[in-house]
Amino acid sequence: MADTTDALTAMVARGLIEDISQKLNESLEIQKKLLKLESKTGEIRQTKLIDDLGISAKTLKVWNDQGLTPINRGGSVFYLLEDLHKFNY
């Protein structure tokens, strides 16, 4: 029984490590893309952010729900690059 439990524990741990590794890699890729973005105002328009990062509007909505704050101005939505760098993806 102990061998079965140990094997199961090892499989669960391996899966968790793979999930964490994948999330970290995704976050690093987003950070690399963000570093390439330049803005005189320190902001990026929502549509450009979605295109440049290759994310969906749904992903951005999830990020908003998790605390990323959009700026609404003149019918357009912007994000501060500083906020994007600090955000935990």
pLDDT in tens, 31-55: 888 888 777 889 999 999 999 999 9
CATH code at 2-86: 1.10.10
Q: Summarize the confidence of residues 66-78 as an average pLDDT.
A: 95
Domain ranges across the chain: 2-86
> Residue 72 pLDDT > 90, yes or no?
yes
Q: What is the pTM of this model?
A: 0.67
> CA triplet 46, 48, 53: central angle to 5 degrees?
100
Kindly report, residue by residue over 5-26, the tens digit of the pLDDT.
687 788 778 888 888 888 888 8
Please tell me the distance from the alpha carbon of residue 89 to that of residue 71, in angstroms, as a whole number: 19
